[in-house]
Chain A
Amino acid sequence: MNEKKIIEPKGETVATGEENVETKKIVQLKNVAKSFDGEIILDHINLDVYEKEFITLLGPSGCGKTTTLRIIAGFVTPDTGDVLFEDERINDLPPHKRHVNTVFQKYALFPHLNVYENIAFALRLKKVSEEEIYERVEEMLAMVNLRGFEKKDVNLLSGGQQQRVAIARALINKPKVLLLDEPLGALDLKLRKDMQNELKNIQRKTGITFVYVTHDQEEALSMSDTVVVMADGKIQQIGSPTDIYNEPENAFVADFIGESNIIDGVMLDDYKVRFSGHEFVCLDKGFDKNESVDVVVRPEDVDVVPLDKGMLTGIVTSVTFKGVHYEIIVSIKDFKWMIQSTDYVEVGQEIGVYVEPDAIHIMKKSEYSNMFGDYSSFSDELEHLSDANEEEE
């Protein structure tokens, strides 16, 4: 824990990812820490949220992403550190005085109110005139495609419809920042995809900053301007989706975002790395000579070639048909690689493997080295099980 392996925030570089993101910071977390009952939930994190950006906090359950969100919302007070909102310290400001609104994981719609009253709730508290309330509620209903649902009992709506009501209810206050806590977690796959698009559209239309919490990496990559990968109460990497995918900072990020083969390697020189008993050309530099490193190779970047043309050779141990491609597990020097290929190979067959220089990504060794990236114990079932556990949280 004492190891200061935190990746420094790279606020300025984020702006390079998307052109419509301005560089004005709206929310800043400075050195924020939080622990419950002696268990460290957040370990001194620093995070900047920029205006009009769609930022996603991504990580497995228990990584502290929801706590971060709740600190911004005001439901949790940090033990140390500062929370700044438009450069003002708001640590002690109660939730109802903050210019942020939240969409809760289970929607938290008020069961005793109908759709209209749920959405109008915040305005009624502000004693806005009935006419204006009507106008704004209708506007919101139009935005979330729920026109005509005004009198419906919220308890009788489907999950997707409830979600829309929750979004409309949170947005009617015109908050500067909208916090979304795994809002699509309870929806089925198809509906989730639709809602992802809709959320993104709403964010573009309104220009409101979205801080989105999820454990679903695909969701994070497809929706966000900026992704913050968190684990063990620390921020592992901040960056645009492509950066995060292509240039993972460490073994944890590489494994968590997509599939990765992570192999021990030695950096022989700039642009030269050795792993699996073979010397490869790569695009990375700036490491010490003979420094041991983690090498990431994405399964889709590995080509299956005839034995004699392979840089490495291995024996196929399993083949699974996945629709677009086959998922092939190959044992190379006792290390199980995953390869995604459209070519069919037989189990037990010896094949050659070819890796392009740009498919190789070199990372410094971290506390997560040797924990991920080997597919020897890989099984679809296990992955599903762990997913289910996360969703329960």
Chain B
Amino acid sequence: MTKKKFNWRTLCIILTFIFLYMPIGVLIFFSFNESDSTAVFSGFSLRWYKELFTDTATLNALKNTLILAVLSSIISTIIGTAAAYGISKMKNKYLKNATMSATQIPMINPEIVTGISMMLLFVFVANVLKISSFNGFWTVLIAHITFNLPYVILLVLPKFKEMDKSLPEAALDLGCTPFQSFFKVELPAIMPGIVAGFIMAFTLSIDDFVISYFTTGSGFETLPIRIYSMTKKRVTPDMYALSTLIFVTILVLLLISNFTSGKNKIELSKKAKKVMKIIGGSVFGMIGITTIVVLCISATTEVKTVNVYNWGEYISDGGYDTIDVNREFEEWAENYYKEKGKKVKVQVNYTTYASNEDLYSKIANGAGGYDIIVPSDYMLEKMQKEGLLQPLDLEKIPNCKFINSQFDGMFLYDNTYKNDSDKIVVEKDNKKTYGIAYTYGIIGIIYNSSQITEEQAPKAYERIESGEAGWELLFGEPIPDKDGKYQYDKDGKMIVDTTYLEELKGQILQFNNPRDAFGAAMYYLDIDVNNPTEDDWKAVYGLLATQKDYVQGYVMDEIYNKMEKGEAWIAAYYAGDCLSMMSESADDVELGFYYPKNKDGKPQTNVFADAMCIPASANQDNLELAHMYINFMLEPEIAYANAEYIYYGCPYDYTNIFDYLVFDENNELVLDENGLPVFDMELYEKNLAYVEVYRENLGEDYDIIYNADFENDLLNPNKLRDMFDKFAYKDLTNSYMEGTDVSNLDMLNESWEQLKVASTSMVGIYVTCLVIALAIVAYIVYVQIKKRKQRRLYWANTPTPKAKPKDEPSPDLSATAVIAIEKAKKRDKDSQK
């Protein structure tokens, strides 16, 4: 009997530990993986730890995070302790409770509210003081102190309450001044609370993402922000290594603090204290020295900065033996100024975001001070319309001639800007260029050819082998009625031929974002994604609803794992990422790739391009450097380094000989003695060599990235541009039907919600919630009934003493008691009858 009980308890404990430590365990395990696959453990290696210490951007973010955590936790501990002291000494009970509640409210407040309100505050203050946005280290520090404070107070206040009230009196009694009493007696007595508060604040600060994200500006990036922004591409395994290191550090800190507070470890605690003192001292020393050095350097040389805000993992950063583009630029620009006889220190403040919408909210809310941003096509258009961007000075970007002709004029818009009263002014027929393409990509379909075989899925296999496969493998083929119209069942699901779907049931992955999911369906049905009609919305919703029964899941980043491990058979994703998956797949998984086309060979897919822009709010002093930076990105060496790193398409073409014509100072063609134009053949050959190397490095992947339309090389003809103009998503803020306020974007989100909510898993969640709620209600009712039964006898018969008003005579309690007893007797008699 006892043995059984024992087992049950151990089981509970083991389960708890599995819940708590399983995720960390997996992370630590994979941080020692040789390959960067999260699916297969290919051998023990310290590669990612090595990689981590060469990743300057991450190390910089780590440094920022640590400095921030140390400073904010120290300051908030001091302020919090002072506040707790003040509160504990309050005499008025109501005021005390009110103050305590007021200090605790920010803790219950959702982080997002705190973050947004702090951001607004800082923008507001900057506006009032008429200074450019100062968001950055100091604002994040203030924000961190703010959200740490309640926790410090919460942990310190009970210690003041616990403390023997006569302790300070004893100190005074023995000759302390009130000041001495606080520092010699009260402070040491509450030290455990202060240390707990400090550690709490420290870990919260390291951990915080939401508030830092909203309050930071250009040039200051903490670790959580950096990790989060990597999600456009994927989190690199050196982050596992970093997380492991952080976890181990915190574990050690915890052990030390537990050891030191152990009552019977006095000897050890002294040693530990010494160690702590040394560590603390050296940390402070290091911070001090760095500050002094930085101040000295900044005092002697002029510093020019350019604040770049880009997607995470979206630039060649020196990891994996690649070029560190930002460092290269700093060096190059410093040399450029040196040749002009100026000693300038150039600094690229590089920070990252995870989605267009994140970027938009930052810029539109006026936070920032960013000089270069890289929005996607549709977002660029939206921001341009709202006057958030400024036109580029193409004369300062001579390399723009190398842009693939297909992108010519792509980001040319009527000049739009905000005037002094923040009204948007559009200068018609005054077109300016607002962006220089950075990358482009196409959505294709990746499939598992070791699972989609003749035996397991003959029809699908046959279809793929024919080379004419399109979206029908993911959606099935719609069966129109005799008028050629789509048919739906009562739930609005489209009726399709499910041959392929049945074969691939449960093996299909779909985008977990509405834009791409609905986009895929629209491309398939040849619907103009930017101008769908009511019927079109009905059709794409019906198609997705039908597909849902066959889908394994709606995923974004998880697709890597699933495809690489062979857990799913087919999915649509961005071509560059598909190529990554193909090269990383497990040994027994073979992945294939194709671009979806219709029967006439017409491409049915989305093309996107991300472009470098300068926000309207950019610092005027940095404009020169910002243009230089954009120009630098178009240097072939740099462009190809980025393209190889990002694995998306490179929108530049260095093979056109006419781009190498030589002009003189007056912008006239230089002619040779024969009257023929002169070409810079040296540069041309050099650049061609880069193109050659790039092609070689990409190997077979080159065709997949650039030859989307299998028949034609997209580098030359205008096919790609065609796709852009016809198929690429715009910002969708146009109204979906004339005469309505509803925009296509609203329709998109609404349909998406409808699609997701109607899921069976959601029903499961509702049922679970309902069951739990019912169980709680039932329990409460049960307890109340039981209580009432138990109280039945005495509760009604005993008068409850009430606080009496001062002047009124008190009611005769004994008289009421007598009456009550009489009643009880009567009731008893009744019940006996």
Q: Which residues of A contact B (CB under 8 A)?
A: 73-75, 94-96, 100-102, 104-106, 108-113, 121-122, 125-126, 153, 155-156, 169-170, 173
Contact = CB atoms under 8 A, between A and B. Distances in A.
Given A102-B169, A110-B189, A112-B189, A121 B266 contact: no
B189 A108 contact: no
A104 B171 CA distance: 11
Interface string B171-194: 111111110100011001101000
A113 B186 CA distance: 12
A111 B163 CA distance: 9
Contacts of A102: 169-170, 173
Interface in B137-196: 164, 166-167, 169-178, 180, 184-185, 188-189, 191
* B166, B167, B170, B185 pick with most chain A CB within 10 angstroms: B170
A122 B175 CA distance: 6
Given A110-B188, A112-B191, A96 B170 contact: no
Contacts of B802: none
B169 A104 contact: yes
Interface in B258-278: 263, 266
B175 A106 contact: no
Contacts of A169: 174
Contacts of B166: 104-106, 108
Contacts of B177: 94, 96
Nearest to A122: B174
24 contacts: A73-B173, A74-B172, A94-B178, A95-B169, A95-B172, A95-B173, A96-B174, A96-B177, A100-B173, A101-B174, A102-B173, A104-B164, A106-B166, A108-B167, A108-B170, A121-B171, A121-B184, A122-B174, A125-B174, A125-B175, A126-B175, A153-B266, A156-B263, A169-B174
Contacts of B263: 153, 155-156
Contacts of B164: 104, 106, 108
Interface in B186-217: 188-189, 191
* B174, B177, B184, B188 pick with most chain A CB within 10 angstroms: B174
Contact of B189 (A100, A111, A126): A111
Contacts of B173: 73, 95-96, 100-102, 170
A108 B171 CA distance: 9
B317 to A, nearest CB: 50
A54 to B, nearest CB: 20
A173 B176 CA distance: 13
Given A110-B171, A121-B171, A126-B175, 7 more contacts: A74-B172, A75-B172, A95-B173, A96-B172, A96-B177, A111-B189, A113-B188
A69 to B, nearest CB: 11
Question: Top 4 closest A-B pairs, CB basis?
Answer: A112-B188, A108-B170, A122-B174, A108-B166
Nearest to A105: B166
Contacts of A111: 188-189
A337 B171 CA distance: 50
Contacts of A106: 164, 166
A112 B261 CA distance: 11
Nearest to A98: B173
B464 to A, nearest CB: 75
A101 B173 CA distance: 6
Contacts of A126: 175
Contacts of B174: 96, 101, 121-122, 125, 169-170, 173
A157 to B, nearest CB: 12
Interface string B343-356: 00000000000000
A127 to B, nearest CB: 11
B623 to A, nearest CB: 60
Contacts of B169: 73, 75, 95, 102, 104, 108
A106 B167 CA distance: 9
* B169, B177, B178, B191 pick with most chain A CB within 10 angstroms: B169
A94 B175 contact: no
A96 B175 contact: yes
A107 to B, nearest CB: 8
Contacts of B171: 110, 121
Contacts of B170: 102, 104, 108-110
A96 B176 contact: yes
A354 to B, nearest CB: 39
A338 to B, nearest CB: 27
A173 B173 CA distance: 10
A353 B191 CA distance: 67
A212 to B, nearest CB: 16
B166 to A, nearest CB: 4
A94 B188 contact: no
A110 B185 contact: yes
Contacts of B167: 108, 110
A94 B172 contact: yes
Contacts of A153: 263, 266
Given A105-B166, A110-B167, A155-B263, A125 B176 contact: yes
A300 B692 CA distance: 120
Contacts of B172: 74-75, 94-96
A161 B77 CA distance: 35
Contacts of A75: 169, 172
Nearest to B173: A102
A101 B170 CA distance: 8
A111 B178 CA distance: 18
A108 B166 CA distance: 6
A288 B172 CA distance: 53
A170 B173 CA distance: 8
A96 B169 CA distance: 9
Contacts of A73: 169, 173
A337 to B, nearest CB: 27
Contacts of A108: 164, 166-167, 169-170
Contacts of A155: 263
A340 to B, nearest CB: 34
* B169, B173, B188 pick with most chain A CB within 10 angstroms: B173
Interface in B501-517: none
Interface in B238-270: 263, 266
Contacts of A156: 263
A113 B172 CA distance: 16
Contacts of A101: 173-174
B211 to A, nearest CB: 35
B101 to A, nearest CB: 23
Contacts of B266: 153
A311 B175 CA distance: 63
Nearest to B174: A122
A50 B635 CA distance: 99
A104 B174 CA distance: 12
A108 B174 CA distance: 12
A113 B191 CA distance: 13
Nearest to A75: B169
A338 B263 CA distance: 53
A94 B180 CA distance: 14
A290 B406 CA distance: 128
Nearest to A179: B173
A110 B191 CA distance: 12
Nearest to A113: B188
A275 B167 CA distance: 54
A220 to B, nearest CB: 22
B184 to A, nearest CB: 8
Nearest to B191: A112
A104 B166 CA distance: 7
A43 to B, nearest CB: 21
B791 to A, nearest CB: 25
Nearest to A126: B175
B325 to A, nearest CB: 55
Contacts of A95: 169, 172-173
A379 B191 CA distance: 48
A113 B164 CA distance: 15
A155 to B, nearest CB: 7
A114 to B, nearest CB: 8
A47 B179 CA distance: 32
